C-alpha cells in the first residue's frame, strides 16, 4: 500500500479516544538483527529496512503478520514511500525499522492505516537525519475505536488495497507477456528456428508467420534472420535530453511537473508518484506526453539499478504539462521504421542493459554517455513485422493504461476515506456508499 501524503494529526477532531501506540502494541525491536550486505547470503526471505524490502536472504527471524515503522531516514519527513507497512510470512528486519504487533486492543492492520494517516513530524528528532526513537514511537497517539469498528474500517480500506494490488499484479503480468513475446521474436528468433525445422511458429496466424524468414545469415552481430538489417538506435530514433533545474523552481501545487529518476521502477517501468512540481523554463522538445518512451540517464553508484532502464509514460490528470528532467532522456522513434513499443522491448533486453553499463561513468553519480543509447547496434526486422509487434504490444499497453487509471481512482478514494474513517468523522455506511459510487 502506498500513502504519499501526510494526512495531518488527529487532534480533537477524532470521534474515538486517543491512545498511545505503546499501549496498543507489543514492540519486538530487540529481536531485530542487521546484516551487512557483504555478509548476506541470497535466499527466498525478504530482508526489510526503513522503506521496505532491500534484499532477499537465506534465513528469517520473524514469522507472521507484523507492522514495520521506519526508524530513521529522510523519508520520515518527505513521505515518498510509506513510513509504515505490513510484513507477512517469514522475513528478516534490520535496525532501521521498528517492528510491532497489535495487542488485544488494536489489530496490526488497523494500526498500519492509523499510522499512515498521521503527521508524525512532532515526534521526530535529528536536524540532519530524521529519527523516530522507540520512546517517541510509543508516545504517538492514534484514535482507537472498538475492535469490531477497527475490523470494519480495515475491511473497507483493505478491499481498496486488495483491488489496487490486483491491478498492479495484472499490469506486471501484462508487462511480462509483452517482453516474453519480444524476446521470442527478436532475441531468440523462435519463429525463424521453427520454420527452419519445418514447423509452424507457435502462437501466431499464418500472415504473421509469413513475415519471418526460414534461415539465418552472417552479420556484424553474428547470425541474424535472413533479410534483417543491422541498425543503430540513432539511425531510427532521436534522443532528447531533459531539462536541468534548481531547487528554487520546485514549487508545490504547480500545474507543470518534472519527470525524474523517481518516475522509474527499479526493474523498469513507470511510477506515477515520481513527479516534482516545477515552475521553471523548458524547451518544447522536453515536454513528455502520455505514451512517450523515456530512459534513465543517471543513477547513484551504490545502486546502479536505474541507469539505462526504460519506461512508457502513463497518462496523469494531476498536471497539465510534464517535462523531462536532466536525468531523463526522451526517445522519439521514426514511426515509419520503428515504434515505441519495439524500442521499449529492445531497451529491456540484457544485451542493451549491458551496453549502457559499459557506456557509463562517474564516481558518486553515474552518467550515461551522450551516445550510450544511440550507439547500440541491433538486428532490425522488416517494417511489417515491427508493426505487427507494435499492434500487439500497444493493445497490451492500452490495457495497462486502463488499469493504471483505475489504480489512481482507487488510491485517491482510499486516501480520502482513510483519515475520515479512522477519526470517526465518516461512518461506515457512508463509506460503503462512496465505494459503491466508484
| Beta carbons within 8 Å of 64's beta carbon, 6+ residues apart | 88, 89, 101
Residues 197 and 271 grouped into a single domain = no
Cβ–Cβ < 8 Å for 186, 178:
no
What is the model's pLDDT at position 6?
39
Residue 80's Cα: distance from chain center in Å?
A: 12
Distance separating alpha carbons of residues 102 and 66, to the nearest angstrom: 8
What cell does 243 get?
A: 531539462
Distance separating alpha carbons of residues 315 and 190, to the nearest angstrom: 34
Residue 85 covered by a domain: yes
How high is the mean pLDDT of the chain? 89
Residues 159 and 109 grouped into a single domain = no
Last residue of a domain, one of 96, 120, 144: 144
User: Does the pTM of the predicted model rise above 0.85?
Assistant: no
Distance separating alpha carbons of residues 224 and 185, to the nearest angstrom: 12
Residue 299 covered by a domain: yes
Residues 10 and 126 grouped into a single domain = yes
- Assess whether pLDDT exceeds 50 at residue 8: no
Residue range 62-86: mean pLDDT, rounded: 92
Nearest to 69 by CA among 87, 54, 57, 55: 87
Residue range 293-307: mean pLDDT, rounded: 79
What cell does 328 get?
A: 531523463
Residues 372 and 394 grouped into a single domain = no
- What domain range includes position 157? 146-213+383-438
Residue range 386-403: mean pLDDT, rounded: 93
- For the CA atoms of 376, 377, 382, 388, the dihedral, rounded to the nearest 10 degrees, stands at -40
CA within 13 Å, CB half, 112: 24
What is the model's pLDDT at position 363?
78
Residues 122 and 242 grouped into a single domain = no
Classify 92 as helix, strand or coil.
Answer: strand
- Strands 310-312 and 365-368, how do they pair? unpaired
Cβ–Cβ < 8 Å for 378, 330:
no
Residues 236 and 288 grouped into a single domain = yes
- Assess whether pLDDT exceeds 90 at residue 372: yes
Task: Give residue for cell 557509463.
Answer: 360
Residues 36 and 103 grouped into a single domain = yes
pLDDT band at 74, cuts 50/70/90?
confident
What is the model's pLDDT at position 5?
39
Last residue of a domain, one of 110, 126, 144: 144
Last residue of a domain, one of 122, 144, 166: 144
Amino acid at each position: 500500500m502506498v500513502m504519499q501524503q501526510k494526512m495531518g494529526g488527529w487532534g480533537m477532531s477524532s470521534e474515538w479516544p486517543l491512545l498511545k501506540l505503546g499501549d496498543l502494541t507489543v514492540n519486538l525491536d530487540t529481536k531485530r538483527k542487521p546484516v551487512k550486505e557483504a555478509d548476506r547470503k541470497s535466499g527466498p526471505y525478504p530482508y526489510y529496512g526503513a522503506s521496505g524490502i532491500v534484499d532477499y536472504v537465506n534465513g528469517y527471524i520473524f514469522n507472521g503478520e507484523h507492522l514495520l515503522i521506519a526508524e530513521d531516514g529522510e523519508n520520515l519527513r518527505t513521505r515518498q514511500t510509506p513510513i509504515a507497512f505490513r510484513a507477512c510470512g517469514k522475513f528478516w528486519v534490520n535496525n532501521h525499522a521498528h517492528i510491532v504487533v497489535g495487542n488485544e486492543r488494536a489489530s496490526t492492520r488497523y494500526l498500519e492505516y492509523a499510522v499512515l494517516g498521521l503527521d508524525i513530524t512532532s515526534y521526530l528528532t535529528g536536524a540532519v537525519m530524521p529519527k523516530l526513537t522507540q520512546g517517541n514511537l510509543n508516545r504517538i497517539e492514534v484514535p482507537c475505536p472498538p475492535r469490531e469498528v477497527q475490523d470494519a474500517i480495515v475491511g473497507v480500506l483493505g478491499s481498496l488495497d486488495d483491488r489496487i494490488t490486483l491491478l498492479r499484479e495484472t499490469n506486471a503480468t501484462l508487462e511480462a507477456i509483452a517482453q516474453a513475446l519480444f524476446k521470442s521474436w527478436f532475441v531468440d528468433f523462435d519463429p525463424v528456428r521453427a520454420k527452419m525445422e519445418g514447423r509452424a511458429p507457435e502462437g501466431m496466424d499464418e500472415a504473421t508467420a509469413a513475415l519471418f524468414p526460414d534461415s539465418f545469415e552472417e552479420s556484424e552481430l553474428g547470425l541474424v534472420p535472413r533479410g534483417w538489417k543491422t541498425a543503430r538506435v540513432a539511425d531510427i530514433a532521436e534522443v532528447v535530453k531533459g531539462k536541468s533545474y534548481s531547487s528554487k523552481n520546485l514549487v508545490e501545487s504547480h500545474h507543470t511537473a518534472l519527470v525524474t529518476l523517481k518516475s522509474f521502477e527499479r526493474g523498469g517501468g513507470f511510477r506515477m508518484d515520481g513527479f516534482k512540481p516545477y515552475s521553471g523554463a523548458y524547451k518544447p522538445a522536453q515536454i513528455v506526453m502520455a505514451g512517450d518512451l523515456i530512459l534513465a540517464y543517471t543513477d547513484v553508484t551504490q545502486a546502479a539499478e536505474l541507469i539505462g532502464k526504460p519506461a512508457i509514460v502513463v497518462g496523469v490528470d494531476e498536471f497539465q504539462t510534464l517535462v523531462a528532467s536532466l536525468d531523463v532522456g526522451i526517445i522519439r522513434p521514426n514511426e515509419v521504421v520503428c515504434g515505441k513499443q519495439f524500442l521499449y522491448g529492445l531497451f529491456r533486453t540484457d544485451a542493451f542493459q549491458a551496453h549502457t553499463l559499459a557506456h557509463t561513468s562517474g564516481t558518486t553519480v553515474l552518467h550515461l554517455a551522450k551516445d550510450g543509447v544511440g550507439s547500440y547496434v541491433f538486428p532490425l526486422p522488416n517494417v511489417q513485422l515491427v508493426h505487427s509487434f507494435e499492434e500487439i504490444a500497444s493493445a497490451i499497453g492500452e490495457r495497462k493504461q486502463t488499469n493504471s487509471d483505475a489504480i489512481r481512482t482507487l488510491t485517491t478514494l482510499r486516501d480520502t476515506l482513510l483519515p475520515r474513517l479512522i477519526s470517526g468523522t465518516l461512518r461506515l455506511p457512508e463509506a460503503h456508499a462512496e465505494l459503491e459510487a466508484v
